[in-house]
Structure 1
């Protein structure tokens, strides 16, 4: 049984091809710019049998093509790793591509088992500098970096994702440091720059929560272009998602 927040059919921004995206409830981070604050709490969501998700995936399989499949997102999906294992086994039996979108901060035996069935990890690196990472997420970043190393050591394909927030994660020296750290990770297929946006701000008002980045402007095209040019020497492919 999984605790599901919501679904997105025919998603195009969460892995290769067209995908069924399953957003799970609950996250251990509390990112300042979180666009889905309603997914943070472990309470809520809809208890869902894995057979229901398999049925949805199989019904959409004809749309996936050669590249598409299922992406498990959140929240933080590895918090429900034990329940995800039987789902991933069944999806593999149906020959369905599996991605998981994770902040990389949870690692235990269940997560290690889960990763055996994953075709691609979308690893969200909130910031390469630990001090700034703590400011943004209220957590240190060493677990995320250790997860990246584990994925590298085990040959698991990875896309890095980096949200560019003006004044918070756009410092050139730290972006370069990220590139230097990951430049020799042969399992990294691409880096995605995710522009900062305020589309989820209204959710904070609805939840009676304070939006911490009030007044922070969205990225200019020049800022995105500059970050892309800084990172391109380090990776096979850099895209603004």
Structure 2
């Protein structure tokens, strides 16, 4: 593929601890098919709002931080938005990073998992798979999308032995029902490729972005989870033999 391939990105940043192992160069691409009620990055929803960028320009930025991120045991993570909305652009960046010795991670909802070719996944060391809910109806109301493609993608990652971290946002009143958590834990426990589950407490840090866009934040009045609730949900994953944090 040509190094002049274009994509649309929102921004990039350096991150530690939440976007894969070590210190990461995190690329936020633009465009997302879901509208999660708790989304913290509503400014990445629309492709048109992103900055047109070439793969080469992204790699030039990555190279500036190569020594730092490799010394810190990190790598490059592509997130968004939804990276698989731009599979060719995302795949070429993953390929370039992988071939130059950088650890690669893909953060995705899995909704567009069918767009990730086996070649793209062969250049991906780690997938951060966001499973928003294990209940079909809740998933639809919470995200506007369908659950099945994500579960199919998780199964495919397992078949291809692609290392996976599951990310589960804990939203009181939405994703805290014990039977739904148990269902997800049971499903994930059957995937040999999953290394860990990150239970991420719902927060309202993205509310200001909604206000700036003149859009009401849907969960403005929703409570954040208590430490006790977070501990209970993590314990449910532990009960199925999973490493949960």
SS at match of 1:132: helix
CA distance in 2, matches of 1:69, 1:173: 36
152-161 or 199-208, which deviates more:
199-208
1:140: Cα distance to partner? 1.2
- 1:1-241 map, 5 Å: 1-64=6-69, 65=71, 67-108=73-114, 111-239=117-245
**Any idea what the Cα deviations from partners look like across 1:85-122, whole Å, max 9, x if unmatched?**
22222112210010000000113455433112100000
CA distance in 1, matches of 2:101, 2:139: 37
CA distance in 1, matches of 2:128, 2:141: 22
CA distance in 1, matches of 2:176, 2:135: 11
Q: Closer, same or farther in 2 for the Cα pair 1:215/1:66, shift >3 Å? A: closer
Normalised by the length of structure 1, the TM-score is 0.95
1:235: Cα distance to partner? 4.0
C-alpha contact (below 8 Å) 2:23/2:72 kept by paired residues: no
C-alpha contact (below 8 Å) 2:185/2:240 kept by paired residues: yes
**Any idea what the Cα deviations from partners look like across 1:171-190, whole Å, max 9, x if unmatched?**
00100010111112111000
40-49 or 171-180, which deviates more:
40-49
- Cross-structure match for 2:3: none
CA distance in 2, matches of 1:116, 1:46: 27
1:207: Cα distance to partner? 0.6
CA distance in 2, matches of 1:215, 1:66: 39
**Any idea what the Cα deviations from partners look like across 1:112-149, whole Å, max 9, x if unmatched?**
33112100000000000111000100111000000000
Structure 2, unmatched stretches of 5+, are 1-5
1:66: Cα distance to partner? 6.7
1:234: Cα distance to partner? 2.0
Normalised by the length of structure 2, the TM-score is 0.94
CA distance in 2, matches of 1:236, 1:175: 13
Q: Closer, same or farther in 2 for the Cα pair 1:204/1:236, shift >3 Å? A: same
Structure 1, unmatched stretches of 5+, are none
Q: Closer, same or farther in 2 for the Cα pair 1:187/1:81, shift >3 Å? A: same
C-alpha contact (below 8 Å) 2:87/2:115 kept by paired residues: no
Q: Closer, same or farther in 2 for the Cα pair 1:189/1:122, shift >3 Å? A: same
CA distance in 2, matches of 1:111, 1:137: 24
Give the CA RMSD over aligned residues: 1.3
SS at match of 1:28: coil
**Any idea what the Cα deviations from partners look like across 1:28-87, whole Å, max 9, x if unmatched?**
100000011111112111111111221222221222237310000000000111122222
Aligned residues: 239
